[in-house]
Amino acid sequence: MKKLDNFSNCLSILKNADFKLADNNEIYRTGIIGQFNLTFELAWRALQETLKLHGVEEAATGSPREILQLGYKVGFVSDSSVWLLMLKKRNTSVHIYNEDEIDEMILLIRDSFLPAFAILEETLKAKLKEVENDWN
């Protein structure tokens, strides 16, 4: 599925980020936050598409928040608090000007958001396989 492939490719780039380099390189820090934003966008869209493939009718339309809550409700998303924090941080990241807030964002991406993305990626791949097996 193209949306899942795009999410996986984007996540791979974020996983390979050198977080030590982000300590003192402003453009690199900005790049990590930008890559996080893109990865988040592709993640919820891949989730939405996978939910639709599984026949979850409510996934046909919805905001990122609604899709994440639906994913949690049907068991595709395991940690709703991390995902809702991720949504909040994604929405405010374009307005971060304070170095302490940027430091916090980089740490959240590294320590909380990357693991959540990785879990979602594995879940979506497994759920896609289930649908493919049903077709065979």
Residue 136: what pLDDT? 60
Listed residue (102, 97, 118, 100) closest to 22, CA to CA:
102
Q: DSSP readout, 78-134?
A: S-HHHHHHHHHHHHHGGG---HHHHHHHHHHIIIIIHHHHHHHHHHHHHHHHHHHHH
Low-confidence ranges of the chain (pLDDT < 70): 135-136
Where in the sequence is the domain holding 30, given as residue range(s)?
Answer: 2-135
CATH number, domain with residue 66: 1.20.120.330
Going by the DSSP 8-state scheme, the letter that residue 24 receives in this structure is: S
Listed residue (102, 77, 127, 128) closest to 23, CA to CA:
102
Structural domains in the chain (count): 1
The pair of structure tokens assigned to 3 is: 């949306």
Quick check: pTM over 0.85? yes
Contact yes or no for 68/44 (Cβ under 8 A) = yes
Residue 117: what pLDDT? 98
Residue 131: what pLDDT? 86
SS3 content of the chain, % helix, strand, coil (to 5): 80, 0, 20
Q: How far is CA 87 from the centre of its chain?
A: 9
Residue 96: what pLDDT? 84
